[in-house]
Amino acid sequence: MNNNNTESEELKEQSQLLLDKCTKKKKKNPKFSSYIEPLVSKKLSERIKECGDFLQMLSDLNLENSKLHRASFCGNRFCPMCSWRIACKDSLEISILMEHLRKEESKEFIFLTLTTPNVKGADLDNSIKAYNKAFKKLMERKEVKSIVKGYIRKLEVTYNLDKSSKSYNTYHPHFHVVLAVNRSYFKKQNLYINHHRWLSLWQESTGDYSITQVDVRKAKINDYKEVYELAKYSAKDSDYLINREVFTVFYKSLKGKQVLVFSGLFKDAHKMYKNGELDLYKKLDTIEYAYMVSYNWLKKKYDTSNIRELTEEEKQKFNKNLIEDVDIE
Ligand SMILES: [Zn+2]
């Protein structure tokens, strides 16, 4: 961070922005809690209802910059609040894994989006299973296997809520994939798989020749938009909170399914990341935290319940740490 005026203007807003984001997510909680209640245990349901009732943030001297310190989060993947927090962390991890493989393994990346036609709610579960099989088949094709050194695959399902569309009330499962390849891949004609070939391979893997699209592109450095596509949860709350019926379809089809899959070099790097071996790629948080601010949720907004100065011991502990997430959405 530098001290030019525009940036300090932006910084002034930062604490409020963070609280606004939490408020936006927390406001979705009553609907979410009510939809999930019949599908989970009483104990979990209670925890979900209380998710984000209490937040603690660390703030600097002017209360301009804050970060979440502790909260009563439920951790459920469908929870609008928790899925957002998880995506912020996963975004950082994915961008670091790519940076690491780029630097240490001399790899480049391809973003691949694989889709098939929309399905009815009753068929979603089976169609996801078929998708997983088709993907496996694709990765086992000789020409693919010989170039892919690792991948991250994310399953996403969207819902068509446009009443004027002929696909209204259908679901669209698809994969967002990043493939690690050797740098030379893009130059070697005998190895390079063009767009048209990717489409044929995907048609053959699914056995569905009505598929007309695959999206494939070489990754640019720091392509955070694509990284975010991989990191965000499999379903958008604006889709699955449409009504109880849609929520139940999403919940039952995605529950227990592995959402983010790491393979090959990405799997190794993922382990290293978890072990802290890639911490050198994380940035140091240079904000000087001086206060602990506690908030309670009061029906429609967060209310500051307490502000206190950090003790010397806490200042030592909470300052100069590594940044563990990316600020998104
Ligand atoms: Zn939660």
Q: 114-138 pLDDT, tens per residue?
A: 998 999 999 999 999 999 999 999 9
How far is the centre of ligand 1, averaged over its atoms, from the C-alpha of 314 (Å)? 26
The full set of domain ranges for the chain reads 5-76+286-318, 80-280
Listed as ranges, residues in the chain with pLDDT below 70 are 1-12, 329
* Ligand 1 centre distance from Cα of residue 241 (Å): 15
The whole-number pLDDT of residue 215 equals: 95
pTM, two decimal places = 0.90
Distance, CA 191 to ligand 1 centroid (Å)?
45
Q: Please give the distance, rounded to the nearest whole angstrom, from the Cα atom of residue 323 to the centre of ligand 1.
A: 21
C-alpha distances (whole Å) from 115 to each of 126, 144, 206 are 15, 18, 10
Ligand 1 centre to CA of 251 (Å) is: 15
Q: How many angstroms separate the alpha carbon of residue 55 from the centre of ligand 1?
A: 12
Distance 29 CA to ligand 1 centre (A): 8
Distance 58 CA to ligand 1 centre (A): 20
Per residue in 142-180, pLDDT tens? 999 999 999 999 999 999 999 999 999 999 999 999 999
CA 145–ligand 1 middle distance (angstroms): 39
In whole angstroms, what is the distance from residue 69 CA to residue 15 CA?
Answer: 13
Could you tell me the sign of the dihedral formed by the alpha carbons of 193, 195, 196, 200, in that order?
positive
Q: Please tell me the distance between residue 316's alpha carbon and the centre of ligand 1 in angstroms.
A: 29
CA of 44 to the centre of ligand 1 (A): 10
The 10 Å Cβ neighbour count of residue 286 is: 10
Ligand 1 centroid distance, CA of 177 (Å):
26
Cβ neighbours around 203 below 10 Å, total: 17
In the numeric block, the tokens 């200042």 are attached to 315
Range list of H helices, the chain: 5-26, 29-36, 42-49, 80-104, 124-140, 142-145, 195-206, 224-231, 237-240, 244-254, 265-274, 312-318
The Å distance, Cα 311 to ligand 1 centre, comes to: 29
Cα of 185 from ligand 1 centre, angstroms: 42
Q: State in Å: Cα 11 to ligand 1 middle.
A: 27
Taking the centre of ligand 1 as the mean of its atom positions, its distance from the CA of residue 62, in whole angstroms, is: 29
Q: What are the CB-based long-range contacts (under 8 Å, 24+) for 305-308?
A: 307/59, 307/63
Q: What is the Å distance from ligand 1's center to 135 Cα?
A: 31
Query: How many A from CA of 280 to the centre of ligand 1?
Result: 30
31 three-state secondary structure: helix
d(CA 244, CA 207): 33
Q: How far apart are the CA of 82 and the centre of ligand 1, in A?
A: 4
Alpha carbons 309 and 291: distance in angstroms, whole number: 4
Query: What is residue 1's predicted lDDT score, i.e. its pLDDT?
Result: 41
pLDDT in tens, 15-41: 888 999 999 999 999 999 999 999 999
Distance 233 CA to ligand 1 centre (A): 13
**Short-list 225, 233, 228, 226, CA closest to 259:** 233
The letter for the amino acid at 273 is Y
Quote the ligand 1 centre to 329 CA distance (angstroms). Answer: 17
Cα first-last separation, the chain: 21
Q: Which tokens is 35 given?
A: 């939809």
Six token digits for residue 116: 């098939």
- pLDDT above 90 covers a percentage of the chain that reads 81
